[in-house]
């Protein structure tokens, strides 16, 4: 159960604080029954005609006041302990959840998953927090007080007590029978909430494109449909939940009619004193109201349970296994040995791939969309572990190196760049935090972004906004390239990392990392085939396999898939596609994988 996990993950002192608060809530509820005991004594004295002495009434009043004072004090400290302990406990749980997410495979943290995690942490965890800080106290009172009152009713007269609680099993049976549909509607409402959040974010993020294309109306209809769908499922949930709770309350309070009938019969028959009957009628009001509240909290708990399930699903995601003693390697060649991998069971994205990416050389990956290029790059950085086979760096399995060692040797430039709301220099320096200002500037110059940086209001100290909002797509990608160059890792992975820069900048960047003596092992997915003609090795992928490999000239001469892709990329030129000047001479071609 996640609640138990939260108590375990949080600091022990905070869990103890919450338990102490719950204990004080029980005492508060017990004290709430004390004035009714005093009232019973006073009624008995009055109806028996023993009103000649003030002392007993003063004593009973003192008992009632003492009970009320104790109830106030217990309630005050119970609320304080529950709220402070709950917030402190959930703060610890949020840290544990964040640490758990940080250990998950990077491939799990896709853009869609990040949106779900954001909603989970901001909404679902907050709901669980409310449970510890507020709902737990209400539920304690809603359960303990009716139990105490039921005992008092049975003590006053067991026959009236049984009449008062006779409808309780029936009422709870009705409520429990309605839970299955309520749980299903709760799950649909949470899913609808996620759909609305995703549609709203997409609509806002895509507003510039939508306006330029005149398509705001189409996308707004999508957003509107999501919102109306959420309204409909919310209405059904509230209607069903409200009907269930109202039915529960009506059946429950039929017990009051049974108590009235039984008490009247017993009083008229002389079997019960009038004081006992009146006391039972008063106590009954303190029985049904909190019991009804317990039913409402149970319905809310079902909705909370769906939120708990979503948080637990993330907590149950397994992080990548890490070695107790990470191996070390100085080699920078990358080897795929019969690697098979799929994101979903039974569907392989890479199928028995075997290839060596030589150290200090540039290897380019090309192929149609969905061929497995990005997956191969991600496995090189250990975003995932393969389902079968092994990926090795310098002859050592990445699983034996561990994620920290792998990431220390790898720098990545992705097409989807992420920048932080910080200065330009701070974003570049993420590649190597200890780098000097001169080293940051040199990386920016090589990445062709020094000129636009110096044109900014504060130069390298300019804040660039959330996710680089003040920069163009090409400028953001250049900063990402500078960050990777500053890291100076021996293995450089580019997943269409130059897609947003112009051809001249792209060529300058390629010259920087491919120059003699650079010594980097480069794996790149090309956005433009013209940028990889000088690659030492080109791997052509299709259907999760490497179907061709060789140099640009050799692959063109072979007339296979690469030649088809080249012709398609240059189809706007007059005449047949030709090899660019300066390309390497034809080399040996391998077909198949």
pLDDT in tens, 195-221: 777 777 667 766 666 666 665 566 677
Q: 238: how many CB neighbours lie within 10 A of its CB?
A: 12
Q: What is the pLDDT of residue 575?
A: 44
Q: CA–CA separation, 88 vs 70, rounded Å?
A: 27
Contact 455, 483 (CB under 8 A): no
Q: Where are the beta strands (DSSP E) in 426-563?
A: 491-495, 521-525, 537-542, 545-550
Q: CA–CA separation, 263 vs 271, rounded Å?
A: 9
Contact 280, 156 (CB under 8 A): yes
Q: What is the pLDDT of residue 380?
A: 93
Q: CA–CA separation, 417 vs 497, rounded Å?
A: 8
* Region class of 409: left (phi > 0), else alpha (psi between -120 and 50), else beta: alpha
Q: What is the pLDDT of residue 504?
A: 60
Contact 431, 485 (CB under 8 A): yes
Q: What is the pLDDT of residue 546?
A: 93
* Listed residue (457, 403, 412, 449) closest to 431, CA to CA: 412
Helix (H) or strand (E) holding 513, with range, is: helix 503-514
Q: What is the pLDDT of residue 341?
A: 93
DSSP state letter for 270: T
The β-bridge relationship of strands 334-341 and 410-414 is unpaired
Q: What is the pLDDT of residue 200?
A: 75
For residue range 519-537, list pLDDT tens digits in order.
789 999 877 788 888 889 9
Q: What is the pLDDT of residue 500?
A: 52
Q: CA–CA separation, 275 vs 458, rounded Å?
A: 84
Q: Show the tokens assigned to 331.
A: 């080699």
Q: Where are the domains of the chain?
A: 2-315, 334-591
* Region class of 366: left (phi > 0), else alpha (psi between -120 and 50), else beta: beta
Q: CA–CA separation, 173 vs 164, rounded Å?
A: 17
Contact 350, 375 (CB under 8 A): yes
Q: What is the pLDDT of residue 573?
A: 44
Residue ranges in the chain whose pLDDT is less than 70: 1-12, 110-116, 119, 201-202, 205-219, 467, 497-518, 571-593
Q: Where are the beta strands (DSSP E) in 64-167?
A: none
∠ CA 460-464-465, nearest 5°, is: 155
Q: What is the pLDDT of residue 396?
A: 94
* Listed residue (197, 545, 513) closest to 363, CA to CA: 513
Predicted TM-score (pTM) of the model is 0.67
Contact 431, 444 (CB under 8 A): no
Packing angle, helices 179-205 and 216-268, rounded to 10? 150
- CATH for 2-315 is 1.20.1560.10
Q: Show the tokens assigned to 505.
A: 């900048």
Q: CA–CA separation, 225 vs 325, rounded Å?
A: 53
Superfamily of domain 334-591 in CATH is: P-loop containing nucleotide triphosphate hydrolases (3.40.50.300)
Helix (H) or strand (E) holding 491, with range, is: strand 491-495
Cβ-Cβ contacts under 8 Å for 463 (sequence gap 6 or more) = 421, 422, 423, 470
Q: What is the pLDDT of residue 216?
A: 59
Contact 94, 311 (CB under 8 A): no
CA-based radius of gyration for the chain: 35
């Amino acid at each position: 159960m996640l609640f138990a996990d939260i108590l375990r993950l949080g600091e022990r002192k905070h869990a103890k604080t919450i338990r102490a608060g719950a204990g004080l809530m029980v005492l508060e509820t017990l004290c709430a029954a004390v004035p009714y005991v005093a009232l019973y004594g006073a009624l008995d004295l009055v109806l028996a005609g023993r009103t000649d002495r003030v002392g007993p009434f003063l004593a009973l009043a003192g008992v009632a006041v003492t009970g009320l004072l104790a109830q106030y004090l217990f309630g005050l400290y119970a609320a304080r302990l529950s709220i402070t302990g709950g917030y402190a406990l959930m703060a610890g749980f949020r840290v544990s959840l964040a640490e758990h997410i940080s250990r998950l495979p990077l491939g799990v943290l896709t853009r869609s998953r990040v949106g779900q995690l954001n909603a989970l942490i901001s909404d679902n965890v907050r709901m669980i927090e409310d449970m510890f800080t507020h709902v737990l106290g209400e539920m304690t009172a809603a359960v303990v007080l009716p139990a105490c009152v039921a005992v008092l009713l049975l003590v006053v007269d067991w026959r009236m007590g049984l009449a008062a609680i006779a409808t309780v099993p029936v009422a709870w049976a009705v409520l429990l029978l309605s839970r299955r549909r309520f749980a299903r509607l709760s799950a649909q409402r949470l899913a609808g909430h996620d759909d609305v959040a995703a549609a709203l974010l997409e609509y806002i993020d895509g507003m510039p494109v939508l306006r330029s294309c005149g398509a705001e109306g189409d996308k707004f209809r999508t957003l509107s449909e999501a919102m109306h769908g959420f309204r409909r499922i919310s209405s059904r949930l509230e209607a069903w939940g409200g009907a269930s709770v109202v039915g529960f309350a009506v059946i429950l309070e039929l017990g009051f009619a049974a108590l009235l009938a039984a008490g009247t019969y017993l009083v008229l028959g002389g079997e019960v004193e009038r004081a006992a009957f009146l006391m039972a009628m008063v106590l009954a009001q303190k029985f049904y109201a909190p019991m009804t509240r317990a039913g409402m909290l149970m319905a809310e708990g079902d909705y909370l349970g769906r939120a708990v399930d979503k948080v637990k699903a993330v907590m149950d995601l397994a992080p990548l296994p890490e070695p107790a003693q990470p191996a070390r390697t100085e080699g920078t060649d990358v080897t795929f040995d019969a690697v098979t991998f799929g994101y979903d069971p039974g569907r392989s994205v890479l199928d028995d791939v075997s290839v060596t990416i030589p150290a200090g050389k540039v290897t380019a990956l090309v192929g149609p969309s969905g061929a497995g290029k990005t997956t191969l790059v991600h496995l090189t950085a250990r975003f995932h572990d393969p389902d079968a086979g092994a990926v090795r760096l310098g002859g050592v399995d990445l699983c034996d190196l561990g994620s920290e060692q792998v990431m220390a040797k790898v720098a990545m430039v992705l097409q989807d760049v992420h920048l932080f709301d910080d200065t330009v220099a701070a974003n570049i320096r993420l590649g190597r935090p200890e780098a000097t200002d001169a080293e940051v500037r040199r990386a920016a110059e090589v990445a062709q972004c020094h000129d636009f940086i110096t044109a900014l209001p504060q130069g390298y100290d300019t804040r660039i906004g959330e996710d680089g909002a003040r920069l163009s797509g090409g400028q953001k990608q250049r900063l990402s390239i500078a960050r990777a160059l500053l890291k100076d890792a021996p293995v450089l992975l580019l997943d269409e990392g130059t897609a947003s820069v112009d051809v001249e900048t792209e060529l300058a960047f390629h010259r920087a990392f491919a120059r003699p003596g650079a010594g980097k092992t480069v794996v790149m997915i090309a956005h433009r085939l013209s940028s990889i003609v000088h690659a030492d090795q080109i791997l052509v992928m299709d259907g999760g396999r490497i179907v061709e490999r060789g140099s640009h000239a050799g692959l063109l001469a072979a007339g296979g898939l690469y030649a088809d892709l080249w012709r398609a990329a240059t189809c706007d030129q007059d005449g047949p596609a030709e090899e660019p000047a300066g390309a390497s001479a034809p080399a040996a071609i391998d077909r198949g994988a």
